[in-house]
Amino acid sequence: MAVYTEVTEEELAAFVAEYDIGSVLACKGIAEGVENSNFLLQTSGGSYILTLYEKRVREADLPFFLGLLDHLAGRGIACPTPIHGRDGRALRRLAGRPASIVSFLNGVWPRKPQPQHCAELGGALARLHLAGADFPGRRANDLSVAGWRRLIDACGTRADEVRPGLAEELEAEWRGLASAWPAGLPEGIIHADLFPDNVFFLEGRLSGLIDFYFACNDLLVYDIAICLNAWCFETDGSFNVTKARLLLQSYRRQRGLSEAEMTALPLLCRGAALRFLLTRLYDWLNQVEGALVKPKDPLEYWRKLAFHRGVAGIGAYGLE
Amino acid sequence: MAVYTEVTEEELAAFVAEYDIGSVLACKGIAEGVENSNFLLQTSGGSYILTLYEKRVREADLPFFLGLLDHLAGRGIACPTPIHGRDGRALRRLAGRPASIVSFLNGVWPRKPQPQHCAELGGALARLHLAGADFPGRRANDLSVAGWRRLIDACGTRADEVRPGLAEELEAEWRGLASAWPAGLPEGIIHADLFPDNVFFLEGRLSGLIDFYFACNDLLVYDIAICLNAWCFETDGSFNVTKARLLLQSYRRQRGLSEAEMTALPLLCRGAALRFLLTRLYDWLNQVEGALVKPKDPLEYWRKLAFHRGVAGIGAYGLE
């Protein structure tokens, strides 16, 4: 589940009174989400999402995230829109935590993504990248090459508990990626965590993107690599090139990819796979007694990494 | 959390199409609740609660529960109203589970119940008892005297792991209760689990009662005993007689209590405390690896039981 902080009804009523959204009718903790406490807040003014930011999100980053959502919503991206209080502020405190209210987005995330979902996703991702181009905020990606190094060091030889030899393999993979990581490719705002549970659909059409709490400045094509990993592998581990082709085609209809970006894709897919392998590995090795969220299998991303290491070229992703 | 079963968007759309409530706009798992998977379902027709019944609820009991809710809603009780499909049925299957849709109730449950909440509760409990009087369904309380015996046997000497000597104390308590348990008091439909998280309030007024999945036929005053345990102890373990007095006063304004019912109250409070002590103890001793719900402290109810054993008479509950 994802409710770590309890809010009393008096605190909630006083908090909501800071906004122009009517009075509280109901407020239910949402089981989805891992990082923060999320509530579906219903008021006489409509439906909203109330988020209490828990310790995994840096408080200093919150103005960046909320400012980005303001910016993207203003550019027509279907993302949560921060609700500003009567004092103009979108960020305040509730039950001892930083907290915000954002608009509620209709839609359901796809439990079994189909090719058409990937086609919708590609276009939305490109529009997101274009809409973010003139956002003035900046946030470094702390889960890129240097961040992987820190995670590898933090896991150390304990990686071998998950798979014998894994610690050494991670070292070799990191060295290879660090020395070959491309420079000079187009950069901008990326979502950096656009998994199926962060993308809503209504009757087959993409209706919303949520959970921008990993958003940062990085190579735009790296965001594509994250999506290829998250959307285009089947549960049996096979890579569905039809899904990848549709995702990339629809992306390129909105924003063209340079030769250099396409050439870099296999390497970036390896990097994206390593990133999720490492955070999952770290969480696996550092399970909290009585935690409410089960850690995800790190080796799923080990197998994805192996796929990308083995591709002969961009044809494997449906590009030519 | 309380989402044990995943539902694909296709399954959900097909399920909702059996009802006259419009099309799915959103469906989010709710973090509250322990027994079943609950979703806040939003359709073009409004807000609803979708419940998938998990294995702790007996499927054969579901017609009783849904029929009771139909009956109570028809008598004006603010409880979830089962939504019937176009075929008239309120109970069907979804994702391999029995499932139902009920109306959504506004309100927020009180995290720190105040005396006024207890006053509201007492009146609502009495109205519930009166409204259930002509419900034709019957369901035995499998968590009464005979059920406690089974739980004591299932826990056995392992009770001493929680508190040395507890196994023997439970035996003695059960023998005392079983021999003195009253017969001939007014019976009817009881909620049997009316804890604060099952009672919603809006601006200080009670707005709804939920979670009828322990409802059964039993002594009406036993339901009061459950509420006294659940609502009138402070977090430091002290009993708040003001809350108890308000609860009982407002109950008696709606439904009078006989002398025999009042005299039985201390014993019934002991029984109600033993019931929750035993189910918590059983869950504590039988924790499931990787369970998503933390077991509650059984000894909280041991302390409540000790209070009721020590009372001199019904004056302790604000009755005279």
> What residues in A contact B104, CB-CB < 8 Å?
26
Helix (H, G, I), strand (E, B) or coil at B259: helix
How many residues does the structure list for chain B?
320
How far apart (Å, rounded) are the C-alpha atoms in residues A78 and A210? 9
Helix (H, G, I), strand (E, B) or coil at A178: helix
Half-sphere exposure of residue A47: CA atoms within 13 angstroms, side-chain side: 18
Q: What is the pLDDT of residue A6?
A: 83
The residue of A5, A11, A24, A28 whose CB has the most chain B CBs within 10 angstroms, and thus the best one to mutate to test that interface, is A28
A205 in reach of chain B (CB within 8 A): no
A35 neighbors A57 (Cβ within 8 angstroms): yes
B9 in reach of chain A (CB within 8 A): yes
Residues A105-155 have pLDDT tens digits of 999 999 999 999 999 999 999 999 999 999 999 999 999 999 999 999 999
A6 in reach of chain B (CB within 8 A): yes
Q: What is the pLDDT of residue A1?
A: 41
pLDDT by position in tens, chain B (length 320): 456 788 999 999 999 999 999 999 999 999 876 678 999 999 999 999 999 998 888 999 999 999 999 999 999 999 999 999 999 999 999 999 999 999 999 999 999 999 999 999 999 999 999 999 999 999 999 999 999 999 999 999 999 999 999 999 999 999 999 999 999 999 999 999 999 999 999 999 999 999 999 999 999 999 999 999 999 999 999 999 999 999 999 999 999 999 999 999 999 999 999 999 999 999 999 987 655 567 889 999 999 999 999 999 999 999 98
Query: How close does chain B come to A148, measured CA to CA in Å?
Result: 28
Helix (H, G, I), strand (E, B) or coil at A276: helix
B34 neighbors B44 (Cβ within 8 angstroms): no
B31 in reach of chain A (CB within 8 A): yes
Half-sphere exposure of residue A28: CA atoms within 13 angstroms, side-chain side: 29
What does the block give as tokens for B15?
């399920």
Q: Which residues are paired to A30 by β-bridges?
A: B30
B42 neighbors B27 (Cβ within 8 angstroms): yes
Q: What is the pLDDT of residue A293?
A: 64
Q: Find the closest chain A residue to B207 by CA distance.
A: A25
B181 neighbors B271 (Cβ within 8 angstroms): yes
From chain A residues 287-306, the ones with a CB under 8 A of any chain B CB are 290, 292, 294
Q: What is the pLDDT of residue B48?
A: 98
Least confident of A3-12, A70-79, B36-45: A3-12
Across the interface, of B7, B25, B31, the residue whose CB is closest to A30 is B31
A105 in reach of chain B (CB within 8 A): yes
Ordered by where they begin, the domains of chain B are 9-103 (3.30.200.20), 115-317 (3.90.1200.10)
Residues A247-258 have pLDDT tens digits of 999 999 999 999
Q: What is the pLDDT of residue A73?
A: 98
Least confident of A1-15, A177-191, B202-216: A1-15
Across the interface, of B7, B31, B47, the residue whose CB is closest to A3 is B31
Q: How far is CA B286 from CA A291, B224, B280, in A?
A: 18, 29, 10
Q: With an 8 Å Cβ cutoff, are B200 and A2 in contact?
A: no
The residue of B5, B9, B36 whose CB has the most chain A CBs within 10 angstroms, and thus the best one to mutate to test that interface, is B9
Judge whether residue A62 has pLDDT over 70.
yes
Q: What is the pLDDT of residue B1?
A: 41
B2 in reach of chain A (CB within 8 A): yes
pLDDT band at A53 (very low <50, low <70, confident <90, very high): very high
The residue of B15, B27, B28, B235 whose CB has the most chain A CBs within 10 angstroms, and thus the best one to mutate to test that interface, is B28
Enumerate residues 6+ apart whose C-beta is below 8 A from A134.
none
Half-sphere exposure of residue A187: CA atoms within 13 angstroms, side-chain side: 11
Query: How close does chain B come to A72, measured CA to CA in Å?
Result: 22
